[in-house]
Structure formats: structure tokens, C-alpha cells
Amino acid sequence: MLEKYEMGRTVGEGNFGKVKYARNVITGQPFAIKILDRHKILSLNFHHQIKREIETLKLLNHPNVVRLHEVSASKTKIYMVLEYVNGGEMFDRIDIKGKLPEEEVRKLFQQLIDGVSYCHERGVYHRDLKPENVLTDTKGTIKISDFGLSALPENNDDLLHTTCGSPNYIAPEVLANRGYDGSMSDIWSCGVILYVMLVGRLPFEDRNIVVLYQKISKGETKIPTWLSTGAQNLLKRILDPNPKTRIDMQGIKSDDWFMQHYIPAVPYDEEEDKAHDTGFPIKESVEVDGQRKPTVINAFQLIGMSSSLDLSGFFEKEGISERKMRFTSSYPLKDLFEKIEEIVTKMGFLVQRGSAKIKVIQYKKGTARRRESFVAAAEVFELGPSLYVVELQKSYGDSCLYRQLCSKLSDDLSICKTEEMLVKTQSCDPDIARFHEEKPQAAAL
């Protein structure tokens, strides 16, 4: 047992642990729990990839991406509660059947592109797309998995610079080591997957890795003439070694072959679905009589929210203080939301208001496509009568800009920092003070 999950058979194994089938004993819903050996991860310096995978999956909420429901940790293990996909890897499907019928391939490829383009719209680039990292269920729905090598743009040039990925699926521009567009390199990998599904073998193969990379760099492959004309043309446009002339996502989605019987996937409703929250789960606030009603939290939950006790810091790409900040405010609730919106708008951000959160966005300048360069969310919790905790959390973007935003909001709205409130709360309640003394031991897990 792991809390409310009853674990059963092992459904997969990797370098750092196992994946077990699990069942929620309350709802009966199936899950896959990835159990990772924490000591092994740290000893092999692989913790950055695990952090990246968890942080990335928290951003993604799409039918064609494996969903992360919860994360917990013990002294020796990390547990990732994931969506259970009952059909296995796409690799196994191809390995058993060889090439797949074109109609079946088109349906799978449409889903792959839907999932990958959704990731790109959120600034996430997979960088290791291959059939082993694409799962399928018994209904033929694909789920993209394994985001351990995923990335956001690393420098001001909006390019990625780390050479990574699986040799046969890696894009030519990645090999050139001069910086590359993560979107276009993922599209190349999707093209290799499309070729493998249609033809039953890899487009670029050689036992000598140097020769293999030469073939990839030149785009040296033969596209079988027995494929339909539409499939041949799309493969040629995707497997173009020049990323500047390679077809992009918009081009793929308007391609005649791709468009046949195409029904775009609809992302899950992020306001209603809280599956990506980790750490201390708190229910979404709701509207009452047309006004926002914040979540009411007690002193124990406030202690749990303390940055010094928040286990989620283990999974953050940056330190927890670099991505999440909280302060208290006595502004009336209605005025508080309006004041936050007014402040961030004056700072040049765009605002999207949901039923319980304010999303703060900045878009990249000077690019043809409208892409987000900074995303953060402000959420309000009720601590007591006329006293609220404001939580500001960055999804991704410039840390300097985030600190400026935090500083401005806290200076204009706060009455005291959350940590100061903890001291006051503990001094008034001996039970809570005792709980706080015991808590660090649990937090060390």
C-alpha cells in the first residue's frame, strides 16, 4: 500500500526503479506508480532529469500526454503516480506487426502531432521522441511519456544548446551543435517515427555511429514508392535536413494526407482538473453568489505550505524560493484580485482570470508565432476573517522577471510574510508549536 493506492504487479523496469500497476482503493481507478531509487538517482547525478520530468508533466494536461497525478517521497524512494496506459509501447506494436496499415498510421500520427504541438505551445520540447516513449492503450489512443530530457529555451536566442536524444531519431541540427529550435527538432523525430510505422524499419541506419550521423546530416534515406503519394510527400517535407525549410506544425496540420478523417484532440479543462498538483493538495476555490470564494486553510496547512517544509522543492528545476512565493494580505477579497490584476497589468503582463486563479503571461517579442515567454499564476487562500494568503507560482520564464513581480506584489499588498505568520501562530497554540517541532523530521524524508 502507498496511502490510498494498492500496488500490484510490476509492469515495467528501468535504470532507477520499477513501474507497478496500482489501484485506488476508494475509487477503483487504475494507475501506474513509478518507484524510483532516490540514492541511485543522486549517486549517478540524474536528479536533474527526474526533476525536469516531474516539473514538465505538471505543466501538461492533454489526452495524448501521460498524466502525472501525484508525487510523494520517502527517505529512499520517489513515487510518481501516473496515468495507467494498458496497451504498452508503440515500439512493441511495430516490433510484432512490422509496418502498420496506412490508415492506422495516420490516426496514430495525428494523435502524436496533437500531443507534441500541445507541448510546444506551452514551451516544452521533448527532445527524445521515439516509439519506446510513445505508449498506446487498447483503444488505439497514444500517450507521450518520458519527459526526462525535455527542455525550455535556455538562452536569449530562443534556441536549445544541449545535444541529446536517441541516435536514430536525432535531428541534423542537433548534431551540428550550434543551437537548434526545439520545435523543429521534435518534428524531425516525429517524421522518423512516421517512417518507422509506415515502412517497418528506420530511415537512417548504420552500425558505425559516425556514418549514421553523416546520413542523418545529409538526410540520406529512400522513401518507398509503394507508399501513397500523400505519405511520401509528407515524409519528404518532415525529413528535410534543413530546419529552415522543414515543414512546421501548422504545415503538418494543413497537409492533405494528414487532414483525412482528422479530429483534433481537446486538452483537458485545467480549471476543473487538479491532477498535476503535488505536495500538499488543496481543493480549488469556487464562486459563491458570483464572487470568488477562496479555499479556507487551517494553521496545520499553513505550516505545510512553509518553504522550509515543502517537499516539492526536491522536484523543482530551481530552488523552491525561485518558483513559489507566499505573503499575507488583509485586502478585501474582491479588491485583492482586482489589485493583483492592476499591478501586473501596469508591469506589462497580460492577465487571464479563472474562477480561482489569475494567470500572468508575457509573450515573446519579435517572433512570427505568438509564444509565451513567461507564465505565473496567483492564487488566494483564506486564513481567517479578512486575512488571506496569496501564493504566486512561476510555471516557466525569466527568474529575474519573476522576482520583480514577487517584490512588487508583496510590497504593495502584504502585511507580513508567511514565515512571520507561522511564528505568531505557533506562539499562540502549543499544539501547533509541538507539531512544528516534529515536522522537520518528516520533511527530511
Please compute the mean of the pLDDT values over residues 231-251 and round it to a whole number.
96
Q: Is the pLDDT of residue 416 over 50?
A: no
Q: Is the pLDDT of residue 157 over 50?
A: no
* Per-residue pLDDT, 177: 78
> What grid cell was written down for 286?
469556487
Q: pLDDT over 90 for what percent of the chain?
A: 30
Please compute the mean of the pLDDT values over residues 161-169 and round it to a whole number.
70
Q: pLDDT over 70 for what percent of the chain?
A: 73
pLDDT one-digit tens code per residue, 278-288: 333 323 333 43
Annotation: binding site? 34
Question: Which of 91-100, 107-116, 290-299 shows the highest mean pLDDT?
Answer: 107-116
User: Which is more confidently placed, 323 or 193?
Assistant: 193
pLDDT one-digit tens code per residue, 63-98: 999 998 888 888 888 899 999 988 878 888 887 778
Cβ proximity of 410 and 378 under 8 Å = no
Annotation: binding site for ATP? 34
Q: Is the pLDDT of residue 213 over 80?
A: yes
Domains of the chain: residue spans and CATH: 5-83 (3.30.200.20), 90-259 (1.10.510.10), 286-443 (3.30.310.80)
pLDDT one-digit tens code per residue, 242-263: 999 999 999 999 999 999 999 9
Three-state SS string over 67-122 comes to: CEEEEEECCCEEEEEEECCCCCEHHHHHHHHCCCCHHHHHHHHHHHHHHHHHHHHC
Q: Is the pLDDT of residue 400 over 80?
A: yes
* Per-residue pLDDT, 65: 93
Please tell me the distance from the alpha carbon of residue 331 to that of residue 338, in angstroms, as a whole number: 10
pLDDT one-digit tens code per residue, 346-392: 988 888 876 567 888 888 766 555 567 788 888 887 766 667 788 88
Helices (H), 228-280: 229-238, 249-253, 256-259
> Catalytic residues, which ones?
128
> What grid cell was written down for 363?
509573450
Split at pLDDT 50, 70, 90, the class of 111 is very high
* Per-residue pLDDT, 282: 28
Cβ proximity of 149 and 126 under 8 Å = yes
* Per-residue pLDDT, 420: 41
User: Which is more confidently placed, 161 or 145?
Assistant: 145
Nearest Cα residue to 254 out of 108, 123, 110, 141: 110
User: Which is more confidently placed, 396 or 123?
Assistant: 123
User: Which is more confidently placed, 149 or 265?
Assistant: 265
Beta bridge partners of 24: 5
Length of the chain: 445
Cβ proximity of 320 and 313 under 8 Å = yes
Please compute the mean of the pLDDT values over residues 131-159 and round it to a whole number.
75
Residue 243 neighbours by CB under 8 Å, 6+ apart: 171, 172, 173, 180, 181, 184, 185, 188
Strands 17-24 vs 30-37: parallel, antiparallel or unpaired = antiparallel
Please compute the mean of the pLDDT values over residues 187-197 and round it to a whole number.
96
